[in-house]
Structure 1
Amino acid sequence: MKAFLFILAFFQIAPGAGDDKGRRGNAMYRSGEFMDAANLYRDALVDVQSDGPGGIHSGLLNNLGASLFRQGDFEQAASAFSGAVRMASSGDDGVRAMYNAGNAVAMQDQFETALEYYTRALLADPTNQDAKFNYEYVKRRLEEQEEQDQNQEQEKSDDNQDQDQQDQDQQDQSENQEQQQDQQNQQEQNQDQQRQDQQQQAQNPEELTREEAERLLQALENEEQQLLREIQKMDVRPRRVEKDW
């Protein structure tokens, strides 16, 4: 988030107020020794643990969160800032902690939660320009993220539809190939059967059934009797041979 305004609101522990560890932690923080500063703030918090809400307690939690934030531990920083909000006894302490908490969760891309923190800070202090700037920036980032998510969902849906269509086309093609193969196999079987039938007919002449044989014999007998009757009608008496000499 390069354009993000993450200027942290720091709590200054006044001399004589709270534990000396807190003031030493502030010195470490200002010198850039954030890990040592965080350890001193933790030690100081142990000493005020039983004090309940108050400016010192809230301030130590806030500065612990700032030290963790500078180390890049945004999750633990957000937890410390959230504790500072709960322990705040004044409006200024609460605004400072809410603003910082918004920064920490925004760095984790938790934009909706960040907007909630900024909104609470602005309701308590409408003049807080840093909170206003970050609110507008994070709001735009959230809109971009939602649009990107929608585009990704649409692309995913389109890809799924394309894959489904491709799978259906492949299935149809496979079924057509199987159907064509079945038809070809059936055609080959029919041709084989036809050849077998022709060979069998050539090897085994067609035999007459008993009824067909009887009809054939009867027909032959009828033809023979008819022929005899015709012969009997013919004049078969011997003719006299006349000599021509």
Structure 2
Amino acid sequence: MKLYLVAFLILALDPIGNLDRVAKRNALKKEAKEAFMKEDYKTAIEKYSYLRDSLNVRDDNILLNLATAQFKVADSASALSNYQKLTSSKDRNVQSVAYQQLGVMNNNPQKQKEALDYFKKALKANPGNEDARYNYELLKKLMKEQENQQDQQNKDDKNKDQQNKDDKEKQDQEKDKKDQQEKDQQQKDQDKGDKQDQEQKDQQQQDQQQKDQEQQEQNQDQQDADEKKDKEQKEGQQQEQNEENKDKKDEVPPSTQKKLQEMKISPEKAKMILEAMKNQEVQYIQQNRKKAKNRTKNDKPDW
């Protein structure tokens, strides 16, 4: 009642001025709306801003159109600020549109959850907001698909990591097996080389022993040959000496030769006579030894 009274007093005091301001506001609202509908967002922003700032018009629908025009010309900071103000509007439809627009502005990979929450609040403010519902369902489906893709990607990455791990373990096992085979082959080659070296050493030792033995036998043969030669030389010398002594023994002294000449007996014949006498003497001695032996066997005294 008091408000109507104040307005009546103002109109009563300055009826022409008030009517002009109201007409001006209405005209600007119409012009701003026409510019907005023609998508002349620059002009719409100028007229809505003049209404808000200069004429001090506080209408949530005007602020909503201003924020949307700012959004269309990519003045994101101003649009975001005005949409945030409208989330507390008492007009549920305006509030719903403001939340919806905040959801659109935050619909990017980094802020999808925040955008989905704005669309949800828009539906809560006005369940009949089909644009908000469409955006909400679409974003929710997209996020679910992305989540599934991420889960699949994580699963694939996990499987890939496991496969890489298995491949690495297999490669490591093959490498270890190859290294062991090379090590065994090296050991085998080393053992074979050691065996060959030992066989060569044994063969050299055997050859040396055989060579030493042959040398020893050769030395022994040479020694035997030298001894035989010395023996033969000595025997030859002895034989020569014996023959020489025999010749000397067989020589007839000059006095004997003279007597033999007087007796008209040749030295050869004298030698034969001498040999016969020696033989008779030997036979006599042997006969005497035999008789002496026979007497001893009869156990009879010699006398």
Tell me the equivalent position of 2:66: 60
Structure having the larger proportion of residues in helix: 2
Distance of 1:177 and 1:151 partners within structure 2:
37
Tell me the equivalent position of 2:49: 44
CA-based RMSD of the aligned residues comes to 4.0
Contact 2:83 2:99 in 1 (8 A): yes
Superposed displacement of residue 147, structure 1: 1.3
Please give the per-residue CA displacement for 1:99-132, whole angstroms capped at 9, x wherever unaligned.
22223333x2544223211221222222323322
For residues 156-167 of structure 1, what are the structure 2 equivalents within 5 Å? 156-167=157-168
For 1:31, the aligned partner's letter is K
- Does 1:31 pair with 2:38? yes
Distance of 1:32 and 1:63 partners within structure 2:
8
Tell me the equivalent position of 1:79: 80
Distance of 2:152 and 2:23 partners within structure 1:
56
For residues 127-206 of structure 1, what are the structure 2 equivalents within 5 Å? 127-205=128-206
Contact 1:81 1:101 in 2 (8 A): no
For residues 199-214 of structure 1, what are the structure 2 equivalents within 5 Å? 199-205=200-206
For 1:199, the aligned partner's letter is Q
Superposed displacement of residue 176, structure 1: 0.7
Distance of 1:156 and 1:140 partners within structure 2:
23
Contact 2:67 2:82 in 1 (8 A): yes
For 1:179, the aligned partner's letter is Q
Tell me the equivalent position of 1:114: 115
Superposed displacement of residue 98, structure 1: 0.9
Distance 1:91 1:39, change over 3 A: closer
Distance of 1:173 and 1:131 partners within structure 2:
61
Superposed displacement of residue 149, structure 1: 1.4
For 1:30, the aligned partner's letter is M
Distance 1:33 1:140, change over 3 A: same
Contact 1:91 1:124 in 2 (8 A): yes
In the alignment, structure 2 segments of 5+ residues that lack a partner are 1-21, 210-303
For 1:113, the aligned partner's letter is E
Superposed displacement of residue 59, structure 1: 4.1
Please give the per-residue CA displacement for 1:45-87, whole angstroms capped at 9, x wherever unaligned.
8x739x7x8624454223312443xxxx9x7697356434357
Distance 1:135 1:124, change over 3 A: same
For 2:190, the aligned partner's letter is Q
The aligned length equals: 185
TM-score (norm. length: structure 1):
0.58
